[in-house]
Structure 1
Amino acid sequence: MNIANFIIKTTTYGNNLNILLLLLLLNPLFSNNYNYLWPTDNENSLTTTFGEPRTERFHAGIDVRTYGQIDKKLYAIESGHISRIRISSNNYGKAIYLKLNDGNTVLYSHLNKFNEEIEKIIDTLYQKYDNSFFDHTFKKNQSIQISRGEIIGYTGDTGSLSGPHLHFEIRDKNNNPTNPLIYYSDFKDGVKPIAKSLAIIPLKKDTWINGIQDYEIIDLKKISDFKYIIDDTISVIGEFGLAVETFDKINNSTFKFGIHKIELIIDNNILYNIEFDQYQFNQDKLIYKEMDYYLLNNKKSYHRLFNNSNKKLDFIKKDCTGITLDENYHNVIINIYDFHNNNIQIQAIMLGKMLINDTEITYNKNDEIKFKNTKSDITTNLISKYNDSRISIKQKQKNTFDVSAMTENYNIIEYYVSNELGISSKKEYFTLNKLNPYLINGDFLIKHIDAGIIIEFIEEIYSGYSPKMILTSDYYENLNLDLYRKDKNILSTKIISPIDIEKYNKIILKYSNQNPDIIFEKDLKGYNPKNKNNYCFKKICLNSDSTSFYNDTYIWIDETEIKIEKEYNVISGPIIINPKSIPFKNKISIDTELDYKNSAIYQYIEKNNTWKILDNKSNNNIKSNISSGGIFAILEEKEIPLIKNIEPKINGKYKLKNLKKITFNIIDRLSGINQNDISILLNSEKIYFNYIRYRDLIEANINEKLKLGKNHLKIEVKDKVGNLNIINGEFIIIE
């Protein structure tokens, strides 16, 4: 059914915001009696909003744009006292916590420096902690009083970031992050959010979506600034969930921003409602249940409109664990709002029925194909065996088509049926020129989704055959798996329970009726965490338990020949720990008893083709914790960190009045540098320093530490696997 011909009632939820606005005004959290100052002199320009996804967490504040500059003034948005100062080369960098008189706490982070009074206190804290990096909480009688509008610091680029900006948080009296824009009614934005596509996700083994058992991604059609639709009726049987690809835009900005609120309405009933207003830090690990992790791994950001083991997230106002439809039509509405109530609406029609394509196809010598045993409308094309390009086929009469345009390239007939209910069957494929069976080639792909396991065999070129798939074991009876052609080149099983697959150790795909049979095999090396807590392969061991995962899960290992730079010595691996497509509820550990100096567990980062060292924690062996699958290896490297651009130069001569700081760059591209493994001694006295990781820069004030004549400088930098570089020498100070 075409949605344009189907009337959906939208007035209640689409355009009438009066009730919503009234509720907002009645909520004390949203009643803006605060009149806070903006923290910078810059206009209200943002690069990131509250609640956006970050690695294993939500973004707990907003990022205020500084246009690539540092040392821009930061102001106290209201009177209060400094409650905490934290300095690190990672995360927040230099950060200051301002406890306001109204009970809220404001965090300013990534600072370059603090105000003059606070900088004097920093010098005493260096001595107190005997460290350049610390996290200090002030007692109330020791805190520094700050007045509204007072300068408390200056913007910078310290900590973990990709460029200078201010990360700005407002937390309530319980230290829970709150959307800072709640407190700024003068922040203007008139641009509506944008929606791109809708994902329908199977949640049970018996779920079918438009004739397949897998994620179904459907692009949205924009028909106005407000409305997006899906033209065709969506067929779903069994329990499923929805996820939407959407983002916001803000006036005069090129950035993509997070959404403030999404609600799912089916048949005028609100099933799900999420609003990014406030949450608790201990809910950060639920980020990958709110965002769809499977799609995030494919570089797409989708908000799930069901919580599925995610009931403790404060953002979620209305709970939905999944949807099951009866055989009637159902109106689906998704309302999406930004913080300023600019909103859009997605409309779709769903039907709890599936249309089976059971037509028979025949070919005659007049270059005609005929479809039998169908009362449905047929759509057919000629499709290339090498790609997805298509040629339309002329219909000669009902259910009869002219295929005289068929060529060596375009020799695959794609067809599906549609009925009066507006639903279409899964696409089927037929060819008169099956591939030479001895030219068949392809690869296995195992998918792990919420509902279970899917095993696919992806043919390089469409073969035209219907092979059989078998799971085999040394101890159990073989398991025959039903296959269907999910797409032109994809043969797929139905959804399999993780419990059903764990007992088998090999997948066999057999193209029968050949002489001999064409067989493809894949070894299965894995386990079910419910029945086994650890598994070792190539001296790398996984350790988990039944609480490590949200749903029944199958863990398996694949070998890979992915390239490793010559600077590394490979101790073990690389291996792929699967599944990579689902998040772990609690981290599992990987370790080894192999004892190699200067070695660690590394993970391959596919986005930029690099190896990243993991935090290694163990007394006797190498051990790391991981929150999802990926590619891992145990690597050894002996490249010392690079120390360069040292000022003052060894053997240099400087006037006392001209030398204020020591600066140098440190670089270690293989394992990286831990901030606590950097040491500077000037005339045998410890020097406290700033480490600006974004610029690989170390800097420290040394003017008061200098003496006339020879000054001895010693710099030590150790990387994360213990490789040490030492610079040791003298420079001369004159009047």
Structure 2
Amino acid sequence: MKLFCFLLLFCNALVGQNQYPKDYFRSPLDIPMQLSGNFGELRPNHFHAGFDYKTQQREGLSVYAAADGYVSRIKISTFGNGKTIYVTHPNGYTTVYAHLQKAVGSIQELIKRRQYEEKAFEVEIFLKPNQLVVTKGQLIALSGNTGASEGPHLHFEIRDSKTEFIINPIFFGFDSFLKDTKKPQVTAVYAFPLDNKTTVNQSLRPIPINLTLQKDGTYLADPVLANGKIGFGIIATDTDDVSFNKNGVFEVQAFYNGTPTYGYQFGTYSFDEMRYINVLIDYARYKKSQQRIQRLFRTTPFDLSIVKTDESNGVLSVLPNLSGTYRIEVADFFNNRTLITIPIAYDEKAAVIPKETTPSNYFIKAKKEYMFEKDNWTVTFPANTFYNDFDLNLSVANKVLTLHDDTVPVHSNFTIKVQDSTHTALEKEKMFLGRIEGGRISYNTTTVKENTFTTKVKILGKYGLVLDNVNPVVSIGKPIEGKWITTQKELKLSIYDALSGIKSYNAYLNDQWILMEYDNKTRLLTHDFSDGVVAEGANILKVIVVDQMGNSTTFETHFFRSQIIK
């Protein structure tokens, strides 16, 4: 029955692929499709939600509506997806186009109008079906590098319009734009002892397993000798024939003596599930080495819908007088498969490699709520803040709270409070609870009530009260004071804040608010003179920048500009 249920789950996943229309959507770009990132790829704190199209290492490529529909949402943000357009289609799906340089036509006119109405660069607009209708192949934007993008590309998603579940675009016929004859690459296999007594190859800690390529193209692992409960994990990537870079794999399945034990396919999931990546992988190793080991077991169930598992959650019990064969299959959408066979046998030899030790003074059970009070600090962990039970290190020294370290993943917010009666009321207005990482301080939104500072966070580590009474820095690369700048198309300034970070920025030409776009990566504010606010002749520019603690800097200059270019 267990085998039947597991296979039924995977059969349902395969049938589900066929429910999507294959010829409804066109590619959003007119260039050959090359991907710098695919659906489900492992990213910091999330799975990748779509395709990242390469744009020939440049911006400004034409972006087209993938099908008939209407622009249902526009979001302009400094972070995340940057400038983003959402198009809802009559077939029940919504396509998303992100990291854009700019929209075009009536879409751009609406954005610019709303920005000047709200006097803000960052805006979000929701539209009704009859407001901004687009047709399949209509030019809607130019590709860019906005938001958290690390280089010019187009991020493209397909979502279910009702549920907002994101769906792998490959299901919609986008496989026809790719050629892929290459098997996924498994660069490492790890065996995990899952309790304090179990050894794997005489190790009490996770250990790599050597693989040997066979003549038939499969891999055979060196024997795993263990006792007790163990699990396995892999480091795996996939490459197609045209994109030339390593992306995520599509499907992973594990079997023990021919019986399915654990697997997942990157087909569809919700945004609420994204953070479970931190328990799908070996998070501690990722934080220490940046290696993402995809675990093929779970010690505590979690609500990631793509995971299909047996009753033991992929955990194997290696018992005396029993041996077995573990098989891992890693596949891409084109059914190129990498197969790994691992012989497993019982062994009771003593450990040679000891368990890693971490300083700790409390034991945390993930399903329970905890409150810790130490000196003037209070930390509250609601139930299910963590994925697994663990030994917590908590201490206070030199006015800094140490909450373990960031090798233990956190699923939901917990609360930190600190009492302070040593600073003045004016100083408290300029203070926040910051995370301290080496010489870097990260700002956290902090409330202050009398002597109590409170913040909610999702990362373990060191925390302390930070006083920020330093004004932001505003500068201009090429001085324009008293100069004619008729040939300049844009006006650029640099803004920066060393501690709490930029909260707001406003610019004025001759006391009239002007739009300045902010690029967080370059710290540049840019005004396009084509907005038509600049006056003929003399102009006075004023820019006011405010940080999260209310410190502000005002930059003023004047220049001359003619609208008539000879």
Task: Tell me the TM-score normalized by structure 2.
Answer: 0.86
Long gaps (5+) in structure 2: 1-7
Per-residue displacement from partner, 1:478-527 (whole Å, max 9, x unpaired)? xxxxxxxxxxxxxxxxxxxx9xx649xxxxxxxxxxxxxxxxxxxxxx99
CA shift for structure 1 position 670: 4.3
Q: Secondary structure at the match of 1:200?
A: strand
Contact 1:641 1:718 in 2 (8 A): yes
CA shift for structure 1 position 75: 0.9
Per-residue displacement from partner, 1:209-238 (whole Å, max 9, x unpaired)? 23343323324333458322222x212222
Q: Are positions 1:557 and 2:408 aligned together?
A: no
Q: Secondary structure at the match of 1:27?
A: helix
Q: Are positions 1:96 and 2:102 aligned together?
A: no
CA shift for structure 1 position 300: 1.4
The match for 2:443 is 614
1:618 maps to a residue whose letter is T
2:372 maps to a residue whose letter is N
CA shift for structure 1 position 529: 9.5
2:265 counterpart (271, 275, 281): 275
Q: Secondary structure at the match of 1:694?
A: coil
Contact 1:202 1:214 in 2 (8 A): yes
Q: Secondary structure at the match of 2:99?
A: strand
The match for 1:354 is 348
**Distance in structure 1 (CA, Å) of the matches to 2:366 and 2:270:** 32
1:313 counterpart (285, 304, 308): 304
CA shift for structure 1 position 266: 0.3
The match for 2:139 is 151
The match for 2:472 is 641
**Distance in structure 2 (CA, Å) of the matches to 1:719 and 1:651:** 29
**Distance in structure 2 (CA, Å) of the matches to 1:546 and 1:719:** 34
CA shift for structure 1 position 669: 4.5
**Distance in structure 2 (CA, Å) of the matches to 1:72 and 1:32:** 27
Name which one, 1 or 2, has greater alpha-carbon Rg. Answer: 1
CA shift for structure 1 position 351: 1.9
Deviates more, 1:111-120 or 1:194-203: 194-203
**Distance in structure 2 (CA, Å) of the matches to 1:344 and 1:653:** 65
CA shift for structure 1 position 325: 2.9
Alignment of 1:128-139 (within 5 A): 128-139=117-128
1:103 maps to a residue whose letter is G
The match for 1:244 is 234
The match for 1:545 is 382
**Distance in structure 1 (CA, Å) of the matches to 2:242 and 2:22:** 28
Provide the identity percentage.
23
Q: Are positions 1:601 and 2:433 aligned together?
A: yes
Per-residue displacement from partner, 1:387-427 (whole Å, max 9, x unpaired)? xxxxxxxxxxxxxxxxxxxxxxxxxxxxxxxxxxxxxxx44
**Distance in structure 2 (CA, Å) of the matches to 1:77 and 1:530:** 47
Task: Tell me the TM-score normalized by structure 1.
Answer: 0.68
Q: Secondary structure at the match of 1:533?
A: strand
CA RMSD of aligned residues (A): 3.1
CA shift for structure 1 position 273: 1.6
CA shift for structure 1 position 653: 2.6
Per-residue displacement from partner, 1:15-63 (whole Å, max 9, x unpaired)? xxxx999987743546552342211133211111111222222111121
The match for 2:75 is 86
2:234 maps to a residue whose letter is V
1:194 maps to a residue whose letter is Q
The match for 2:5 is none
The match for 1:661 is 490
The match for 1:182 is 171
**Distance in structure 1 (CA, Å) of the matches to 2:475 and 2:278:** 41
Contact 2:72 2:129 in 1 (8 A): yes
Q: Secondary structure at the match of 1:241?
A: strand
Per-residue displacement from partner, 1:60-97 (whole Å, max 9, x unpaired)? 11211123311111011111110100001010110000
The match for 1:729 is 557
Per-residue displacement from partner, 1:357-392 (whole Å, max 9, x unpaired)? xxxxxxxxxxxxxxxxxxxxxxxxxxxxxxxxxxxx
**Distance in structure 1 (CA, Å) of the matches to 2:142 and 2:475:** 27
**Distance in structure 2 (CA, Å) of the matches to 1:665 and 1:580:** 32
1:692 maps to a residue whose letter is D
The match for 1:256 is 246
The match for 1:495 is none
**Distance in structure 2 (CA, Å) of the matches to 1:604 and 1:107:** 36
Alignment of 1:708-723 (within 5 A): 708-723=536-551
Instruction: Give the length in aligned residue pairs.
Output: 540
**Distance in structure 2 (CA, Å) of the matches to 1:627 and 1:21:** 33
Q: Secondary structure at the match of 2:145?
A: coil
Per-residue displacement from partner, 1:641-693 (whole Å, max 9, x unpaired)? 332236782322344xx45433222233444323xx11111122221232122
**Distance in structure 1 (CA, Å) of the matches to 2:535 and 2:185:** 63
The match for 1:114 is 103
**Distance in structure 2 (CA, Å) of the matches to 1:89 and 1:29:** 38
Q: Are positions 1:690 and 2:527 aligned together?
A: no
Provide closer, same or farther for how the CA distance between residues 332 and 671 of structure 1 changes in structure 2, counting only shifts above 3 A.
same
Provide closer, same or farther for how the CA distance between residues 528 and 558 of structure 1 changes in structure 2, counting only shifts above 3 A.
farther
Provide closer, same or farther for how the CA distance between residues 312 and 427 of structure 1 changes in structure 2, counting only shifts above 3 A.
closer
1:326 counterpart (311, 319, 326): 319
CA shift for structure 1 position 550: 2.9
Contact 2:35 2:54 in 1 (8 A): yes
